[in-house]
Structure 1
């Protein structure tokens, strides 16, 4: 006791990120629950975006809302991971030299 489960969309974590998350969460939990670090366990589970509503949002957020200490702040439906739209480059016109009458350039070096 206590045991935490973190579910998230897939991504790769470095060993440093994992260690930082474990350290930060363990410190907060041991302080708040007045327990020893050895009693804390942390599980991390990757959930595909297409499965988020069925596996996480509905059963754990909507149907168990009374247990949440912090509500998510994303809109419904949950956005799914999709490739970014392709943006076509806009041609930029090149600057054309503007002819200057010789009378205006006299005395300029």
Structure 2
């Protein structure tokens, strides 16, 4: 039951673009983990740039930096 929670700066995506993003992510999960499409969920949470450090970096990225399979190319 993979769940992907995407956090990003605000983007103007219409429903079609959001659906395409979720489909691409689900396809990658299906290909690499063998999950069935119906078992995959994807969330898109847009975070204001001035709130990124407190809401994402400090709470999710920095504490797990050593175990991330893709590390960011920036630091805070």
TM over 0.5: yes
Matched residue, 2:29: 29
Q: Aligned equivalents of 1:38 and 1:67: distance in 2?
A: 28
Matched residue, 2:44: 44
- Secondary structure at the residue paired with 2:10? coil
Please list every run of 5 or more consecutive structure 1 residues that lacks an aligned counterpart in the other structure.
78-109
The size of the alignment, in residue pairs, is 76
Q: Aligned equivalents of 1:34 and 1:14: distance in 2?
A: 29
Superposition deviation, residue 43 in structure 1:
0.6
CA deviations on 1:10-36 (whole Å, 9 max, x unpaired) are: 121022321221111010001111111
Would you tell me which structure has more strand in proportion to its own residues?
Answer: 2
Q: TM-score, normalised by structure 1?
A: 0.64
Q: Aligned equivalents of 1:45 and 1:17: distance in 2?
A: 14
Would you tell me which structure has more helix in proportion to its own residues?
Answer: 2
Q: Aligned equivalents of 2:67 and 2:12: distance in 1?
A: 29
Which 4+ stretches in 1 moved above 2 angstroms?
Answer: none
Structure number with the bigger relative contact order (C-alpha 8 A, sep ≥ 6) is 2
Please list every run of 5 or more consecutive structure 2 residues that lacks an aligned counterpart in the other structure.
none
CA deviations on 1:42-83 (whole Å, 9 max, x unpaired) are: 011011111100110111111111331111113x44xxxxxx
Q: TM-score, normalised by structure 2?
A: 0.88
